[in-house]
Amino acid sequence: MKQTNYIKIFIKSNRKEIRFFLLFISLFVALQALHYVVYPATVPLFVHKLNAEASSAIINIITPEERSFVEGERSIRSGSFRVRIIGGCEGTEGMLLLVAAMWAFEMSIKRKILGSLIGCFVVYLANLIRIVVLYYCLKYKPDLFDLVHIYIGQILIIFIALIFFIAWAGKFAGTDGKLFNKA
């Protein structure tokens, strides 16, 4: 009986945090499902144009002698070397996490929209850097590729989305500086 009271007190005193968490999870799952449905139609834009072509252009600016180009919809090629951008490598998951957090958090619609747009752009730029680093890593230090790709790169994208959200939410939190104001 006593434990039930503690649970009720915990739920009552953390109502906003619990609401945020449940809404965040629901939004993230819904956004992932939507992304899964529209992904085949968005590959030409998100993977080919915005990631492969942009990354190839950055590579050519940094090292013009690479003469990289996009082959097909997903590959960046330079001579006989090729790196392929597959599903999940376009940074979408980081963006979806950020958007779900923004829309689950209590702030004005205008701030949610602006935060989502700016945050997604920040995550997108970070992902372009990640792709360029992976290109050079695979070409010149292939033994480090798995470490950089699987552990460092993916975690970095999620970390950047998280830091952006915390900074944005902190800026638009209540006047007492708390992210969740107790009512």
Q: Write down the domain spans for the chain.
A: 15-171
Q: Lowest mean pLDDT of 116-120, 150-154, 161-165, name the range.
A: 150-154
Does the pLDDT of residue 124 top 70, yes or no? yes
pLDDT beyond 90 at 95: yes
Q: Taking 80 as the threshold, does the pLDDT of residue 54 lie above it?
A: yes
Residue 158 · residue 95 · CB < 8 Å: no
Q: Within 13 Å and on the Cβ side, how many CA atoms surround 38?
A: 10
pLDDT at 176 over 70: no
User: Looking at the predicted structure, is the pLDDT value of residue 183 above 60?
Assistant: no
pLDDT band (50, 70, 90) for residue 116: very high
| CA–CA dist 106, 101 (Å, integer) | 10
| pLDDT tier at 27, thresholds 50, 70, 90 | very high
Global pTM reads 0.85
- For 23, 130, 163, the CA distances from 79, given in Å and listed in that order, are 48, 21, 38
Q: 1 falls in which pLDDT band (50, 70, 90)?
A: low
3-state secondary structure the chain: CHHHHHHHHHHHHCHHHHHHHHHHHHHHHHHHHHHHHHHHHHHHHHHHHHHHHHHHHHHHHHCHHHCCEEECCCEEEECCEEEECCCCCCCHHHHHHHHHHHHHCCCCHHHHHHHHHHHHHHHHHHHHHHHHHHHHHHHHCHHHHHHHHHHHHHHHHHHHHHHHHHHHHHHCCCCCCCCCCCC
What is the arithmetic mean of pLDDT over 58-81? 90
What average pLDDT score do residues 135-139 get?
92
pLDDT at 133 over 60: yes
In percent, the amount of the chain with pLDDT more than 90 equals 58
